[in-house]
Amino acid sequence: MVKLLVVDDEQAIRESVSMFMSEKGHEIHRASTIKESIKAFKALTPEVVILDIRLPDGSGLDALEQMHEFHPLSKIIMITAFQDMETTIEAMKRGAYDYIHKPLDADELEKAVDDAIESFHEDVKIAVTDENRCEYDENEIVGKTRAMKDVFKMIGMLCQNRATALITGKTGTGKDLVARRLHLSSPYGKKPFVTFDCSAIVETLLESELFGHEKGAFTGAIDSRPGKIELAGDGTLFLDEVGELPLNLQGKLLGFLERKQYMRVGGKTFLKSRCRIIAATNKELANMVNEKTFRDDLYYRLKVVVITLSSLWQRLSDMEILVAHFIQKSANTLGIKQMTLQDGCIERLKRHPWTGNVRELENIIVSASIGSRGSVILLDAIEDLLRQHPNSIEENSNPGALSQIENRHILKTLESVQWNKTRAAKILEISLPTLRKKIKKYQLIPRNE
């Protein structure tokens, strides 16, 4: 039996949770405001608190901090009827043990409380640090599935330390976005975030790109040059597609991870680094270890903490909010009018295989937004795009895909009106100066010139 404090401004929730938990043999106490909860918490020092986010006299996040300051070992389970990424991350960042959405599921709540009690008795602390809050940029991660909620929780817990993390998932699932969010949510979020794409550089240059080189280290090395580790400084080095590293460089990376020291190519002295390493891969590294194409010691060193991203077909219930997010993003970044979807589009999108995952979905929505003549993206337009790009992986892997889509659309519109810029601007629903800028940006000219 443990002391359990239930804090919620809804009497029905307080009573139902209290009755359910008292049947489990726990000593139940209740409160409906932050003031009442803090008073009860200090008097009781309960092992577990079930705490609502929104209370009449303030935010449950503030009560969470006060409770942890008074008794850090207590496990606080946050509950809320409002689902959003930032609140989930912030709650876990401030030290919440878990985060559960209403309406409450009895089995989920019971498991969370049981786990919290076990954690309490083992004296497992969640670090509470609310200094150096980070401002979030517009690169939001959206999702309401259990898998995505778990990702948000992991980001909230991991952002307070420099533990090495491995992000796994298929191509297009957003591994780079999660790595950046983890960095930005940390106390060193204003430090550099440096990406090293292990698959985009020829093997002979990989070591120099990662560790840097001294002048004269090899033919063409006319000057000394810092590597990605050095450029990351006290920030984060993101090793994208780490499974592509050749074996000889895997050993040198392992040495850096173990000693936090490295040497430039052609150098004679060791340099130190405090950068955090976040690696990502779309490969099964465990299989590569068995096949002797990836070092087992590096594998275990990288997978201190693993964040696994689901493929889009595994989180189809997120389709509607993902589409809404990409429509808004298209409007903001491309200067086009914000669209709505014709009935039936979401259902059709859910039936697509999405081999390119979320990245493929984004490009389809951007293309549909740009190609729409009115305010509504028609089902026929979605059908046409899905038929034209059934797999879309090659195009979606190109970071310039959005620009290419806009380029082609503007050129096609100009040609349809014999390069009458005023008419084209009206069709595109942008101003004439904006059209002129885009013509200059993409260096568009009539075919007969």
Q: Which residues, at least 6 apart from 49, have a Cβ–Cβ distance to it below 8 Å?
A: 4, 5, 6, 7, 37, 41, 67, 74, 75, 76, 77
Q: Which residue has the tokens 């990836």?
A: 294
H helices, E strands: number in the chain: 20, 18
pLDDT category, 448, cuts 50, 70, 90? Answer: low
Mark residue 88 as left, alpha or beta (left: phi above 0; alpha: psi -120 to 50; beta: remaining). Answer: alpha
CA distance 212 to 231: 9
pLDDT category, 399, cuts 50, 70, 90? Answer: very low
Q: What average pLDDT score do residues 419-438 get?
A: 80
Percentage of the chain lying above the pLDDT 70 cut: 91
CA distance 245 to 242: 6
Which domains are assigned to the chain?
A: 3-121 (3.40.50.2300), 146-308 (3.40.50.300), 314-442 (1.10.8.60)
Other beta carbons within 10 angstroms of residue 114's beta carbon come to: 12
Of 172 and 330, the structure prediction assigns the larger pLDDT to 172
pLDDT at 122: 59
pLDDT category, 373, cuts 50, 70, 90? Answer: low
pLDDT at 255: 93
3-state secondary structure of 333: helix
Continuous segment of H or E residues that includes residue 321: helix 319-334
pLDDT category, 403, cuts 50, 70, 90? Answer: low
Residue 123 has pLDDT above 50, yes or no: no
pLDDT at 132: 32
pLDDT at 417: 84
3-state secondary structure of 438: helix
pLDDT at 267: 87
Residue 135 has pLDDT above 60, yes or no: no
Contact, 438 vs 406, CB < 8 A?
Answer: yes
Mean pLDDT of the chain: 85
Burial 212-249 (b: 16+ CB within 10 A, else e): bbbeebeeeeeeebebbbbebbebbbbbbbbbbbeeeb
Helices (H), 128-213: 146-158, 175-184, 203-211
pLDDT category, 178, cuts 50, 70, 90? Answer: very high
Mark residue 99 as left, alpha or beta (left: phi above 0; alpha: psi -120 to 50; beta: remaining). Answer: beta
Please state the φ and ψ torsions of residue 305, each to the nearest 5 degrees.
-135, 135
| Least confident interval from 204-213, 354-363, 410-419, 425-434 | 425-434
Please state the φ and ψ torsions of residue 168, each to the nearest 5 degrees.
-115, 150
| Least confident interval from 134-148, 182-196, 231-245, 290-304 | 134-148
Contact, 185 vs 89, CB < 8 A?
Answer: yes
| Least confident interval from 130-144, 256-270, 316-330 | 130-144
pLDDT category, 431, cuts 50, 70, 90? Answer: confident
pLDDT at 432: 76
